[in-house]
Amino acid sequence: MHDDQQGGSWTAVEIRQQPEVWRQVARTVQQARAGIDRVLGEALTDRRTRFILTGAGTSAAQNQLPRLPS
C-alpha cells in the first residue's frame, strides 16, 4: 500500500520525527567531533580531496515508482 492510500500517515510520522532526529545527529557529531576534525583535517590537506554530501533519495525514488494496481 502506498503512503497516499494510507492518508499520508507514514509521511506524517517521518515529518514529526525530524526535529528529534536532527537533535540526535547534533549530539552524535558533538560526541565524535575530535575524530571528525582529525579525519577531515587530514583529508583537507590534500587539494585533490572532494566531499560529496548526499541523501538517500528514498522520497524522490518512491515518488517516481509506477503506481501498481491495488
Distance CA 57, CA 34 (A): 29
Distance CA 26, CA 40 (A): 17
Is 70 inside any structural domain?
no
Domain total in the chain: 1
H helical segments located in the chain: 9-31, 33-44, 58-64
Is 69 inside any structural domain?
no
Instruction: Print pLDDT tens along the chain (70 aa).
Output: 455 555 668 888 888 998 999 999 999 999 999 998 998 888 888 888 888 877 776 666 666 666 655 5
Which set of grid coordinates corresponds to residue 20?
528529534
Q: In the 8-state DSSP scheme, what is residue 68?
A: P
Is 40 inside any structural domain?
yes
pTM over 0.75: no
Residue 22 structural domain = 3-64
Predicted local distance difference test score (pLDDT) of residue 67: 60
